[in-house]
Structure 1
Amino acid sequence: MILPFQNLTCPLDAAPLRRDGAAWRCPAGHGFDVAREGYVNLLPVQNKRSRDPGDSKEMVAARRRFLNAGHYQPLADEVSRRVLAGLPPRGEASCLDAGCGEGYYLRRLGASAVARHLALAGVDISKWAVQAAARQQREATWLVGSNARLPVADATLDCVLCMFGFPVYAEFARVLKPGGLLLQVDAGPDHLRQLREIIYPALKPERKGEPRVPAGFGMGAHDSLRFTLELEGAEAIADLLLMTPHLFRTTPDGRARAAALTALSLTVDARLLVLVRDGRSVASGSAG
């Protein structure tokens, strides 16, 4: 069962926000309207680095088509399993997907948690991504916002997800309860290697070494999930390229080679890192 998410804070003064009809308001009177799709924009214009930050409408549409086709479902199911195993066994719990995109991983978590009481929220800097997420699932709370200044109260979350995103560890530590989990997923050294070998003249050597443990956390676990993905049809391959940074890093020749493909066998190689919030306090509003 998905519960209302109650721990939002005002992006202007960090005061608690309360739902008031079709808006969220803080005690100082700052108000943030709920869009007709069901999301709320908590990214003040002064905190934007561009007029339309984050993924474009076209990138979001490509990611929605690709993920909804189930290509990354083994990864989503493993993430859901680990989150549910790490949450308190009884009572209510809250989880934030920091950099939620169009909401696929949070939707899979909600579908896997039918016997649990979870408050779910997703935040992304792209208005188009959050809009798409809200259209596909109304039960979770969807927010336009930034990982650098999460609109969430201190020490209120049981779990933070960061899926192929941009972690801001000081903010994640601030919003997590002591003992709360950060589940971070990044690309492993062989992730989409076959596609990268086609679009790039040469691959950069991978950096090796153990994952670092950021301040405020202890190591929980780190390992990998690998599986083979068979893509059929030019559209699915084009969607994959468009939803990754590789489209903008490769050359026109590389993009042309990818566009000529009609089938591709790929390795999905994801690094899963679980960090546990320790008991030390973090200053409110830090965003290191």
Structure 2
Amino acid sequence: MTILPFDALACPLDGGRLQAIGKSWCCDAGHSFDVARQGYVHLLPVQNKRSKDPGDNKQMVAARQRFLNQGFYQPIAEAVNQAVLSDLPDKGTVNVLDAGCGDGYYLRFLASAVQTSQELALLGVDISKWAVLAAAKQNGGSRWVVGSNANLPVLPETLDRVLCLFGFPVYGEFARVLKPGGQIVQVDAGPGHLRELREVVYAELKAQKEQEQPAPGGFHYLGSERVQYDLVLHEKEQVADLLAMTPHLYRASAEGRARAEGLQSLTVSVDVLLRRYEKA
């Protein structure tokens, strides 16, 4: 399999095609975006930021990177690979976007673990500059961009697959950038996901019911797959990293976080649902 960087980037200011000129990406209107020393490009205009430093901070990214690189979520990555590579076009390069790529774990796993003759052009986009920086440092073969799912810096109808893994789907944007027949591969937490950790950090758990989600407008539902298994964390640092990479770190009270910090080990349930949608 040949891995290529995805090049059909769009200017975040006017939507025009960006072209690589030297160490910058430029559009015909004269907007220019420099490539960072680590190889990524920042395509999130200041006016589109909701805070000075949006997305995961440096500490959260480092915790997620340590946790994922130990293979704890590999069964999820394997299911994503299978979904991405099924029903691929027979000819041409397959363009794949990870919308909310984090430190790039799932794209790296896709690039390294699958053996086919297909050409894949990969693009990772995340609103956190720390996440994109970590991704670019670990894999220079893909294209890494600081950007937003609400305004993807991608030309219309240029993608075959969009991944949204534990992220924030913006279906209108996904429909815009996907080719006809292109697919969304979406992974969300199920009601039992990390239940044992949540029982530690919260005084009381709210009952969670799984709800059927209709296909978003402009898409057909292709099917779903449940990934469930027990995850055994033997070290205090692994428990801390798991908590740090979830929203529970900030939602829990100080007492709940203190209880989690006292754990020397933990067995937690992994429960996620993978859904696939096809653009009509």
Question: What is the TM-score normalised by the length of structure 2?
Answer: 0.97
The answer to whether the 8 Å contact 1:5/1:140 transfers is: yes
The answer to whether the 8 Å contact 2:15/2:153 transfers is: yes
After TM superposition, give the deviation of residue 86 of structure 1 in Å. Answer: 3.1
The answer to whether the 8 Å contact 1:99/1:147 transfers is: yes
1:59 matched residue in structure 2? 60
2:148 matched residue in structure 1? 146
Distance 1:114 1:220 in 2: 24
Distance 1:250 1:119 in 2: 39
The answer to whether the 8 Å contact 1:62/1:243 transfers is: yes
Distance 2:51 2:261 in 1: 30
The answer to whether the 8 Å contact 2:191/2:210 transfers is: no
2:46 matched residue in structure 1? 45
The answer to whether the 8 Å contact 1:169/1:214 transfers is: yes
Distance 1:2 1:21 in 2: 22
The answer to whether the 8 Å contact 1:18/1:26 transfers is: yes
Structure 1 segments (4+ residues) deviating >6 Å:
none
Q: Deviations over 1:5-30 (max 9, x none)?
A: 12100001100001111111101111
Matched, 1:245 2:223: no
2:85 matched residue in structure 1? 84
Moved more, 144-153 or 79-88: 79-88
The answer to whether the 8 Å contact 1:194/1:265 transfers is: yes
Distance 1:274 1:169 in 2: 13
The answer to whether the 8 Å contact 1:227/1:269 transfers is: yes
After TM superposition, give the deviation of residue 209 of structure 1 in Å. Answer: 2.6
After TM superposition, give the deviation of residue 114 of structure 1 in Å. Answer: 4.3
The answer to whether the 8 Å contact 2:3/2:122 transfers is: yes
Moved more, 211-220 or 60-69: 211-220
Matched, 1:102 2:103: yes
Identity of aligned residues (%): 57
Indicate how the Cα distance of structure 1 residues 211 and 59 shifts in structure 2: closer, same or farther if over 3 A, else same: same
1:31 matched residue in structure 2? 32
1:130 matched residue in structure 2? 132
Q: 1:159 aligns with which of 155, 158, 161?
A: 161
5+ unaligned residues in a row in structure 2: which ranges?
Answer: none
2:12 matched residue in structure 1? 11
The answer to whether the 8 Å contact 2:199/2:205 transfers is: yes
The count of corresponding residues between Structure 1 and Structure 2 is 278
Distance 1:224 1:76 in 2: 13
Moved more, 82-91 or 173-182: 82-91
Distance 1:39 1:154 in 2: 21
Distance 2:211 2:251 in 1: 25
Distance 2:90 2:71 in 1: 29
Distance 1:3 1:114 in 2: 15
Q: 2:212 aligns with which of 210, 214, 226?
A: 210
**Which AA in structure 2 matches 1:61?**
A
Q: 1:256 aligns with which of 229, 254, 258?
A: 258
**Which AA in structure 2 matches 1:157?**
L
Describe the SS at the equivalent of 1:265.
Answer: strand
The answer to whether the 8 Å contact 1:87/1:159 transfers is: no
Distance 2:114 2:78 in 1: 11
Q: Deviations over 1:227-269 (max 9, x none)?
A: 1111011100000000000010111111111111111111110
Root-mean-square deviation (CA), in Å? 1.0
